[in-house]
Amino acid sequence: MAKARQVAGGGRAVEVPPERLAGWFERFSSSHGGVAATEATAEELRVTAADGATATATVPFGPAEAGSVDALVAHALIPRRIALVLVRLGGHSVGIARGGRVELSRTGRHLVHGRSAAGGWSQQRFARRREGQARHALQAAARDVFEVLVPRLSEVDAVVLGGDRRALDELREDRRLAPLFARAEPRVLEVGEPSRAVLDEAAVRALSVQVTVRDG
């Protein structure tokens, strides 16, 4: 399970594996004096505790009816085959996973220099070279997404993205990839430099339910 991270507007978000979700909500209830109310839409389930604390779960692979914790757990536990796209400027890793295990993948690494502290013409030449490296890196990522994932979109239940949002936005501009991005989950996984090991971890995390906790 990923560590808790702070979120905008206060509170913290955690990723809870489906098989641990029921127990997580039971512990939340016990720690906050019991459940006072439960509200649900097709996109989220909010549990309000007696002390005013809230736990809001985003319904994964939705929208879906999740009027209770039990319904959310049942929905999250449905077996799924997922396409994964992890992209940063330094590399990318794409694949298809079933039940949290990667079935096929392709990973690429790219050299993209950091920013230069030099000034004048030297800095401009460095910036142009860096832009060229970044462009080639994203072109390679787009090629692998198109070759590995797009032909198999009919075989997957969802698409999960991860990595750098700017890099992902650049890929969105590639018209060949429009069918894939049209099916992408809203959540973007925060990952390190993409590799096969990072892809394996993302395959498990992609199945988790994100829960945002705010104190009363």
- Element housing 193 (H / E): none
pTM for the whole thing?
A: 0.85
pLDDT at 63: 85
Going from N- to C-terminal start, the domains of the chain cover 5-78+208-214, 81-205
Q: How many H-runs (helices) and E-runs (strands) does the chain carry?
A: 6, 11
pLDDT of residue 4: 80
Q: Say what percent of the chain tops pLDDT 70.
A: 87
pLDDT at 116: 44
Q: Which residues of the chain fall below pLDDT 50?
A: 1, 116-121, 126
Q: How far apart are CA 183 and CA 155, in angstroms?
A: 13
What pLDDT shows up at residue 132?
A: 59
At 24-50, the pLDDT tens digits run 999 999 999 999 999 999 999 999 999
Position 216 scores a pLDDT of 82
The reported pLDDT for the residue numbered 3 is 65
Q: Which amino acid is at 181?
A: F
Instruction: Write the CB contacts of 74 (distance below 8 Å, at least 6 apart in sequence).
Output: none
Q: Which fold has domain 81-205?
A: Nucleotidyltransferase; domain 5 (3.30.420)
* Best CA proximity match to 183, nearest among 144, 148, 153: 153
